[in-house]
Structure 1
């Protein structure tokens, strides 16, 4: 680049401006940690009253209302009427055991939900012990000094100590849609309690409202129930979003099966009573049949899987705010991601400086030891165009360069920010007006997109083209490029926009932000999984294309810019988003149009965002993903997922886990439906065919001890299958229980039913005693259920690979069940309670052989199952 002469301007100083005193907030070190802890203890947490959490007793009461437990209780009453106290005691023991297992599962789920609630509670930036700390919102106390930035939710009622172009959305409290301006309280903190919103509240902010522009510092005056929102009694968390589609579908399924089961059991009870003349025995038979057909496990499975899935996602640094997102993750077809901080490390450093002089640029590289005086003014003004307390990675890099390379006199720690012009869609540049004390004269600093700053400076066409060419060259190296300019102001009658100042271009700042190490493999994994990765960034097109190449994102045929999007109608945009994977110089409104266009094409869209204006696109996406580190509260509340580390790799891990959760959920549901077929069939067939009753309530209770933990714990812990991320995304309209899935479950369960029913009938016909036949058939059924569990571990893999996949919960469950079964069959007292007789070697071998045969049969039917499951409605 052309060289220019050095610039030896002195440090910027507004004419005749004395050094001002520091802001009140900067004089205050905030509360001490000890004082804050005392106030938290005395006044309580900064939280609104919440619905009572589910205690152990409340969960126990809910369990007692379950139909299965009520049926068991009814069976106990019948046995007591019959005078069979031992049988009643045995059933009561099973009731206690089932209740204990259910309580453990429910409490485990509740602890997971409580941990997630703690993780997702709002955060607040406070000044304590003289330093800034980010704490949980409930830990904010009266007297805390809080720092507010655009996008934050105000954590508590407060008086403003300082404010810079601060505007607040108070619609939550007042219903007024338009934001209101807020200014600092004259003379610092005003005494007394805060007034209500809209009543002389120009220097007050209220808990629950949103900062939609500017920044400020306030002193907390009321928290929790003492705040304005607490007095009104409005709780954001009290709104019930209603059941997700998966919950609604499962509830319908449970209602259908329950109605069917109860209807069949009533008919069977009447049939038994009329044909055999024993109404108490008929009642027991009906209760047994009803228990065998009730699919109460479905809702338990869904609750456990969703709660545990959210917990597993949190361990991958992804918080779940809406459980529907877990359902949608496995169906995602397009993953729209930001660049800075998501694909890159967001650890920016100054790579190069290019000072502008007489229409030409002179370069400096960060590899050089010293910063020549010719570049001091460029860094000085870039620092003034940044926040005092930097949050953005670029501004942190500028502060770091200034601390290490810029003389202290040029850093101006005592200057006062008197006005701010934020970035806008029309002018993507940040502008600050500074004063050294009397506001009569000031220095104006701006930094932003080179083309925007070039227009501000009204450069001649030739110089503007030179600036664009230089920015393009830097961007093609993958660097983020900012232009910096300065102006002067007189008085406090500032123009409506930065265009009203007379600007002088100072040069370009190029920042390097390296790609995250795991991004390229994660993008490749998405490609294998049939998920298209689309990068959407506000950066220069050259920078976007360079990072896309490094990440392995195909940027062909070309990069589309926000300006290009603005010229397209909806139909044309739908065509463009089908082939474009890199969008640059994109504004939030363009993001929303991209999401809507992708959805219109039938894509299932995941979208990342971090700013206030990203909220519409996050809500419009099927899966809105907010940034946890740099994201605003508004973005986090609009999103379904929150990335705690802002890492693209975490999104891909979440997709992988979402697929695993849905896969295992289908396996668990398939197992439950399949396992109820032989249980219900073996309870009904003896009533219809005149055989001795095979099942009594005690047998169903025993089987429930196997089914509940298997479906809710064992299948939830099942590791992912090897081809999980090589499959295409599942169709979003695919129900959890398609006709194919039901047919496959019924086929599996039917095989078990025919095998065990055939064994029972054969044993009875050979003259074996009823008790031994019952014991042999029951043993065969439990062993066949073991085979069903192993078969349901995979819809595709055969037995060998399935057995090699680790699952400690599975083997522990099978071991405990085998031990309990051995006790029931081996101890005479237990055999009596189960109405079993001692098994002869031949009967024992026959039952074991049948169980193994069923396992091999179910494994051999896997190819048939794949064809059944692959069928889609409307296809042959």
Structure 2
């Protein structure tokens, strides 16, 4: 292909605007469902809305119009909250979809530029290369060693080789480039592509439910069934006693409402969606919500070396010329042999380089030649990177029939295909090891004098002459030591899995104080291990070198067998299977191929591993905050259920202390508390110094559930004490109800504050930055004041204005029934050095 690419100028800016005006943007436009209607139907099916609707209807039928209007307003308010939360989640996920959209390279105004796939227009000159997802249909103009996987259209998984002369010289949207590179002219976009006409959308990912989601769904279902059973029992008891159908139905509905924890699924969806949105703002694109849940559990991070631990800014640093046995730095290059070595390395690279090492070779060639030979030679045959360890070969010819057959790759492989003697091989290995000990990345370079036209099917069949070594330096990233320390502090193991050799990798690992740099293992050694040996080996070894796809996959599977939660970084075509197999596949946004991004569950837009520390911290924070929210919901539901049930079941003097309007008022206070306050809570400082939680850990483990149940029972005992205190003092039903309700609301406020941490004191958590706490509690206190002291509201809720003493004892009991938990937290903090899982 030579520099043919630069003869294609592509569209001008004006032509792009005209094409877009004529053909539209490159998007698959599916039939849009009516969001509002779908939302209304979804809300109408919610159990709490159904109960409210039934209760409101009973009030209207029995002539209590005011109560009916209040419950109808509650329905509208619940629906509004539900729509608001849903739209927040949906907007967050829509933005994510936009961020995770594929990019592509086009030639416009004679220059290459990266654009979003939806910006491609008909007539564009699109460059596609190995690992790219093809974003539109087009006709091949130029290509070399170009093949595509068209299984999404044909079902055939084998790659199809194509060029401009092929019977089918078109490429199609949704297919993937397997090898080589091509320039195509776009002929169809969006719904006009073959994929668009079939009506498939590659964005349609059906997410399976996560373990946490299943646990929460099951818990809510059980509570709903319990609510249904209790509803029937209480209705039967009431109806037998009073023979009043509507009143007994209302009393039973009150209990059913109090049992139903409908805030839990709302909290789960909100936390996950907003968590994904917060990650996106940090430059971390999460493609599926379930990744957010898994992040906090990661126990092992498997990372590539080049571009993840190192800068991926390769500079050609040293040369070893085999024929003269001279080792020199690039600054010292002077002899024709040294210049030849650089030139052969360049010819063994892609004519349009995108790999940093190849860019460095082209740059070094440019800097030292008097006459650039590249425009005169055309690539006539290519063998892509292949073999174990890999090598690649390029065949160039000029118009006079002069030919260059150049290869570069792993030193071991180049020596093998160059027929070196044992002594010569030892000599080269010694030099390579000496260079590698300083962290240089080394490639062997060879030249063949093959003159036939029938090229061998395999590059190893050429007879090469070993020309020497080229060594590149790729410095470690400046922040990588701190990143590793953060992982180690959080109890996360880090493993390097690289295609590079052991000496270079160990040298870089030593420079960055990587734990376990002394012990390495290569891909071939790993493949010889039995399953049992491998399972032990992956836990003990931290550096794996000369890795290939099968070996990477074996490491991931072995770690999973050892019950590890594996995060894996990758960027190449060959990383796809391992990224998919890992619990958390992490693709690099800049240097990652579209195949890697497609297989991964998370994309780091800036190729910065430090963002994984942020992502894991966010995962842990979301999980901890969701747990706080749900523990709060369980704790506060217990007293509501029991204060409705106990007086009724035991036939106390005021059996129906709460009606549906009281329960709904409490629900309206609690809903925003759990999903707004707790979602906004900051990361607790001890959370990144704890071991990762096991993914098998059930969300509601007994010790935590017991804490919530005890908290709920203590609040209940406080409320029952106030109830009996009021009865003992011969207060009427309205005053008793007022005091019980005040106790419950005050207990709710302090429970919200206490449960912000199950480890740190309330004095510490009051300093947390979360402005919503003040707003929500302020609104709750204001509403409570209005209900108690504004006559129409007081009358409507069947309250009585309490005196200072009655108010004080109710509020004081509510406070005491919650504050005791501070003593439990104090004991936890006194325990020596044992990390407590918040």
Q: Where do residues 761-800 of structure 1 align in structure 2 (5 Å cutoff)?
A: 761-800=724-763
Distance in 2 (CA, whole Å) between partners of 1:674 and 1:500 is: 73
Partners of 2:279 and 2:826 lie apart in 1 by: 33
Which residue of the partner structure matches residue 35 of structure 1? 15
Q: How does 1:495-574 map to 2 (within 5 A)?
A: 495-555=456-516, 558-574=519-535
2:339 aligned with 1:376, yes or no?
Answer: yes
**Corresponding residue number in structure 1 for 2:224:** 258
Query: 2 CA distance for matches of 1:461 and 1:410?
Result: 37
Q: Aligned match of 1:618 in 552, 555, 579? A: 579
Of 114, 131, 137, the match for 1:157: 137
Tell me: CA distance 1:379–1:835, structure 2 relative to 1, closer, same or farther (3 Å).
Answer: same
The match for 1:437 is: 399
Partner Cα separation in structure 2 for residue 414 and residue 745 of structure 1: 78
Matches of 1:220 and 1:492, distance apart in 2 = 33
Distance 1:347 1:268 in 2: 73
Distance 1:531 1:273, change over 3 A: same
For residues 688-743 of structure 1, give each alpha carbon's deviation from its aligned partner in whole angstroms, at most 9, with x where no partner exists: 23342222222222212221112222111111112112111212211111233322
C-alpha deviation, 1:863, in angstroms: 6.9
Q: CA deviation at 1:333?
A: 1.6
2:327 equivalent among 348, 362, 366: 362
Q: 8 Å contact 2:2–2:379 — kept in the other structure?
A: no
Contact 2:316 / 2:472 at 8 angstroms: preserved in 1?
yes
What residue is the counterpart of 1:8 in the other structure?
A: none
- Residue of structure 2 in register with 1:833 after alignment: 796
8 Å Cα contact 1:45/1:138 also seen in 2: yes
Residues 1:820 and 1:60: Cα distance change in structure 2 (over 3 Å): farther
Q: In the aligned structure 1, how far is the partner of 2:2 from the partner of 2:386?
A: 32
Q: 1:378 to 1:745 in 2, by over 3 A?
A: same
Pick from 161, 167, 181 the counterpart of residue 161 of structure 2.
181
Deviation at 1:782, TM superposition (A): 1.0
Query: 3-state DSSP class of the match of 1:96?
Result: helix
Which residue of 1 is the match for residue 377 of structure 2?
Answer: 415
Q: CA deviation at 1:133?
A: 1.8
**Shift of residue 56, structure 1, vs aligned partner:** 4.2
- What is the SS of the residue equivalent to 1:545? helix
Equivalent in the alignment of 2:817: 854
Q: Give secondary structure in 2 for the equivalent of 1:272.
A: helix
1:321 aligns with 2:283: no
Query: Which of 260, 270, 273 is matched with 1:304 structurally?
Result: 270
* 1:148 and 2:133 correspond: no
Give the match for residue 17 of structure 1: none
> Who is 1:282 aligned against?
248
1:402–1:411 Cα contact (<8 Å) kept: no
1:348 aligns with 2:314: yes
C-alpha distance in 2 between matches for 1:249 and 1:53:
30
Residue 458 of structure 1 aligns to a residue whose secondary structure is coil
Give the distance between the partners of 1:614 and 1:597, measured in 2 at CA: 17
Measure the CA separation in 2 of the matches of 1:33 and 1:677.
66
CA distance in 1, matches of 2:326, 2:459: 24
Instruction: Find the counterpart in structure 2 of residue 631 from structure 1.
Output: 592
Give yes or no for contact 2:6–2:110 (8 Å, CA) kept in 1: no
Q: Quick one: structure 1 residues 640 and 691, their matched pair in 2 at CA, closer, same or farther if it must change by over 3 Å?
A: farther
SS in 2 for 1:490: coil
Q: Conserved in 1, the CA contact under 8 Å of 2:318 and 2:330?
A: yes
Q: Deviations over 1:161-180 (max 9, x none)?
A: 11111111111111112111
Describe the shift of the 1:371–1:823 C-alpha distance in structure 2 as closer, same or farther (beyond 3 A). Answer: farther
Corresponding residue of 1:664: 625
Pairing of 1:150-299 with structure 2 (within 5 A)? 150-185=130-165, 200-201=167-168, 203-299=169-265
1:149 offset after TM fit, Å? 1.0
TM-score by length of 1: 0.91
* Structure 1 residue matching 2:482: 3-state secondary structure: helix
**Alpha-carbon offset, residue 582 of structure 1:** 0.6
Which residue among 569, 578, 593 is the counterpart of 2:554? 593
Match of 1:6 in 2: none
Instruction: Work out whether residues 168 and 179 of structure 1, in 8 Å CA contact, stay in contact via their aligned partners in 2.
Output: yes
* Structure 1 residue 76: Cα displacement: 2.0
Is residue 90–residue 833 contact of structure 1 (8 Å, CA) maintained in 2?
Answer: no
Residue 193 of structure 1 aligns with which residue?
A: none
Quick one: structure 1 residues 717 and 47, their matched pair in 2 at CA, closer, same or farther if it must change by over 3 Å?
same
- 1-side partners of 2:808 and 2:468: how far apart? 88
2:231/2:255 contact within 8 Å kept: yes
- Deviation digits for residues 455-501 of structure 1 (CA, Å, limit 9, x no counterpart): 33322333322222222112111111122233344353222233343
Inter-CA distance 491–184: structure 2 relative to 1 (3 Å threshold): farther
The answer on 1:823 being equivalent to 2:786 is yes
Offset at residue 91 of structure 1 (A): 2.6
Map Cα deviations across residues 96-155 of structure 1 (whole Å, 9 max, x no partner).
333222222211111101100101112222112222222222222221111111111111
1:728-772 Cα deviation digits (max 9, x unpaired): 121221111123332221111111111112212211321223222
Aligned pair partner of 1:454 in 410, 415, 426: 415
Classify the secondary structure of the residue corresponding to 2:751: helix
Structure 2 SS opposite 1:804: coil
Alignment of 1:59 with 2:22, yes or no, is no
Q: Structure 1 residues 135 and 384 mapped into 2: Cα distance closer, same or farther (>3 Å)?
A: same
Worse-superposed segment, 838-847 or 625-634:
625-634
**What is the CA–CA distance in structure 1 between the aligned matches of 2:496 and 2:464, rounded to whole Å?**
34
Q: What is the distance in 2 between the residues matched to 1:22 and 1:479?
A: 30
Change (3 A) 1:629 1:857: same
Superposition RMSD on alpha carbons, in Å? Answer: 2.4
- Are the counterparts in 2 of residues 441 and 491 from structure 1 also a CA contact under 8 Å? no
Q: Distance in 2 between matches of 1:834 and 1:724?
A: 44
Contact 1:159 1:219 in 2 (8 A): yes
Q: Which runs of 5 or more structure 2 residues have no equivalent in the other structure?
A: none
The structure-2 alpha-carbon separation of the partners of 1:565 and 1:73, relative to structure 1 and needing over 3 Å to count, comes to same
Q: Given the alignment, which residue of 112, 117, 140 partners 2:97?
A: 117
CA deviation profile, 1:402-454 (whole Å, cap 9, x unmatched): 44x2235235134211111112123522211112236x431122222222222
Q: TM-score, normalised by structure 2?
A: 0.94
Q: Which residue of 2 aligns with 1:3?
A: none
Q: Which residue of 1 aligns with 2:663?
A: 700
1:543 offset after TM fit, Å?
1.0
- List runs of 5+ in structure 1 lacking aligned partners: 1-19, 187-199, 872-876
